[in-house]
Each structure stands twice: as C-alpha cells, then as structure tokens.
Amino acid sequence: MFRKTPAATIAALVLQLALPAQAQAQAQPDPVARGRYLVEGIAGCGNCHTPKGPQGDLPGMNMAGGAVFDEPPFRAVASNITPDPETGIGRWTDAEVARAIREGIRPDGRIIGPPMPIELYRGISDADLAAMVAYLRTVPAVRNAVEPSVYRMPLPPSYGPPVANVARPADDPVARGAYLAGPLGHCTECHTPMREGGQRDWPRLGAGGQQFPGPWGVSVARNITPHREAGIGGWTDAQILRAVTEGVSADGRRMFPPMGYGYYARMTPRDLADLVAWLRSIPALP
Ligand code: HEC
Ligand code: HEC
C-alpha cells in the first residue's frame, strides 16, 4: 500500500503541511508595513508629532515635532521622533523607543507628560509596539530642535509598573474593536469625561464632554455611546463611519479638530467594522 501512494497524494499532503505556515505569514505582516499602518493610521501619532499649517501637515516634516499644546496646567511641545541623531530619537535603542511609547519613560529616566495618551498606550501589544518602532526607524530624519515642554503640574513618577508582555486582542470583533478604540486609536481618551483632579471618569466611558480649544474655537467631544438621544444609538453604521473617517456628522455638519479623521480614514474595512461593533457594545449613557 505504502509504495503505491500516488505522487498526487503526497503533493496534497505537502501542501496541507505548508498551509498553516502560509496562513501565519498572512497573520503577521511585515513589521514595517504594520507599523506604518498603525503610526500613520489608527494611532495618528502625526496628529500631534507632525507640525501643521493652514494647509495641513507641513511638507517634509513628518514626525519632526514642534506642535505646541498650550493649556492651563502645561505648555507641552511635541517631540521630534524622526531618526535624526541630534534632535530626534536616532540614538535611542529599539527597547528605549518602545519603553518611551508604552511606558512614557525616556532613556535618561525622565517621564513623558501629557497629552500623549500613555495610560492607553500601556495596552499596545508587543508585536504592534515592535512594528511601530520598526516603522519610526524608516521615516526620513529631520533636523528640528524643539523647545522643552513646561509642566505647571506634578508629573507622576511613572504610569504604573513596568509592562512586560501584552498579547494581541482575542480574534473577535468586539475585542478587536476595543483594542482599536483604546490602546491604538485612543478614542476613549478624548470621549471619556474628566473628573475633578484630572483623572478620567472611566465608568462613564464614551459619554463625552471634554473641551478642545484651538484655532477653530472650542470643540466638545460628543457622547459616542449607543444612547439613542444623547449618543449615536440612532445612527446607521455608514453615518458613524462617515463621522470617524470624513469628519461629517450625521446631520451633515462638518466636524472640528482635534479628532484625527484623516488618520482613521486609512483603517482597513475590517478594522472599521470592528470599531463599529465595539461602539455598539458599550453601555448606553445619557
Ligand atoms: C495627543 C498628542 C500626542 C500623541 C497622539 C502622541 N504623542 Fe508622543 N508626545 C507628545 C508630546 C507633547 C510629547 C513631549 C512630552 C514631554 O515633553 O514630556 C511626546 C513625546 C514622545 C516621545 C519622546 C521623545 C523624546 O525625544 O523625548 C516619543 C518617543 C513619542 N512621543 C512617540 C509617540 C508615538 C510613536 C505616538 C503614536 C503611537 C505618539 N507619540 C502619539 C504628544 C503626543
Ligand atoms: C483628540 C480627541 C479625539 C479623539 C482621539 C477622538 N475623538 Fe471623536 N470627537 C472629538 C471631538 C472634539 C468631537 C466633536 C467634533 C465636533 O463636534 O465638531 C468628536 C466627535 C465624534 C463623533 C461624532 C459624534 C456626534 O454626535 O456628532 C464620533 C462618532 C466620534 N467622535 C467617534 C470617535 C472614534 C470612534 C474615535 C476613535 C477612532 C474618536 N472619536 C477619537 C474628539 C476626539
């Protein structure tokens, strides 16, 4: 019997054995490509780290820093995170860049202050963090010395204990959507109200209310819970996606910054669908 095994059967068997490896390669794309997708897309690092003019991103300044966040408790200046060795992060090791992003601690031990959402970045998976670092290595180095930030409030000594390992989210639309809306896209950072003392009121996740002053006036983060009157429970999926990716509200009104619509527009259809699945799943709040 054994000697009579037709070649075709063996070929089929070999193909079957090869398949899992192929599927794995698809699930783990090239880290630089994945990193670009995250940094230039859902994570929108450039929304803060790429300086803007009236026409949008200043040309040739991708991730070169300098944007100022002027608020009562601080005057924060976005860092140059290009690989320039003098004014950027070119001399940092991969592990040092990774620690800065996920734990908010620089190589010299200084803490990174707000508004960078480190609290949420602590949940970035190991694979995605490595991908972000790999991509940041490939952006053109830009020589641009930025002023230091000034914090008129105490910064915490750390954002928590060291983060050892973070797994990918479970392969389920709501779990993937929660990961996109939290650690990667930080929707929850802006759309969750603040308590007195500057802490987020997490039990009111998605209820909105934070104010964002800027050249556009003051925009107020909306209630994005499924509440039918106060939130977006009455919106269709298409209306939600138009708001997130194009900045056009359900009633056709053009929405204001600082939400990074153009970055979210680069998300894959699957990630956008998972984001909507998560938005539909959170508790409806008035
Ligand atoms: C909401 C605005 C905001 C977002 C979003 C943001 N950052 Fe930052 N980031 C800042 C500011 C402001 C600083 C400087 C803070 C300070 O001086 O303590 C900073 C500092 C850093 C530093 C430290 C650099 C240095 O030279 O000290 C790194 C690295 C960094 N950011 C990477 C990233 C990456 C990667 C992303 C996206 C995953 C990101 N940031 C998203 C605002 C932001
Ligand atoms: C930097 C802060 C910020 C981040 C991050 C952010 N948003 Fe927003 N969002 C706002 C603000 C401010 C508005 C109100 C804009 C306006 O009314 O002109 C808004 C409006 C919206 C609206 C329209 C709601 C309505 O009733 O008009 C939706 C939906 C929305 N955001 C969903 C999201 C999702 C999903 C994410 C993450 C992928 C996200 N936002 C990330 C600040 C933010």
pLDDT at 196: 85
Angstrom distances, CA of residue 121 to CA of 105, 185, 224, 235, 261: 12, 9, 21, 29, 20
Judge if the beta carbon of residue 64 lies within 6 A of ligand 1.
no
What whole-number distance in Å separates Cα of residue 265 and Cα of residue 246? Answer: 7
Residues of the chain below pLDDT 70: 1-28
Which run of H or of E encompasses 52? strand 52-53
Q: Each residue of 217-242: pLDDT tens digit?
A: 999 999 999 999 999 999 999 999 99
Domain boundaries, the chain: 29-162, 169-286
Residue 125 is predicted with a pLDDT of 98
Q: Say if domain 169-286 classifies as CATH 1.10.760.10.
A: yes
pLDDT at site 28: 65
Q: Which pLDDT score, from 0 to 100, does residue 2 have? A: 41
Residue 202 φ/ψ region, left for φ over 0, alpha for ψ in the -120 to 50 degree band, beta for the rest: alpha
| Nearest ligand (C-alpha, residue 132) | 1
**42, 68, 112: which to mutate for ligand 1, most atoms within 8 A of CB?**
112
What's the confidence (pLDDT) of residue 27? Answer: 58
Q: What is the reported pLDDT for 215?
A: 86
Please give the structure tokens belonging to residue 80: 């140059």
By residue count, the chain amounts to 286
Minimal-distance CA residue to ligand 1 atom 43: 116
What pairing do the DSSP bridges indicate for beta strands 150-151 and 217-220?
Answer: unpaired
How distant, in Å, are the alpha carbons of 73, 208, 233, 261 from that of 194?
A: 14, 9, 22, 23
Mean pLDDT (the chain) is 91
CA 78 to centroid of ligand 1, rounded, Å:
6
- Over residues 1-18, the pLDDT tens digits come to 344 444 444 444 444 444
Show Cβ contacts of residue 44 under 8 Å, excluding neighbours closer than 6 positions: 185, 260, 263, 264
In short, whether 185's Cβ falls inside 6 Å of ligand 2 is: yes
Nearest by Cα to 45 from 59, 29, 71, 65: 65
Distance 50 CA to ligand 1 centre (A): 11
Name which residue sits closest to atom 20 of ligand 1, judged by CA. 79
* 133 in contact with ligand 1, CB cutoff 6 A: no
Instruction: Assess whether the C-beta atom of 48 lies below 6 angstroms from ligand 1.
Output: yes
CB 81 within 8 A of CB 45: yes
- Residue 113 structure tokens: 């202050």
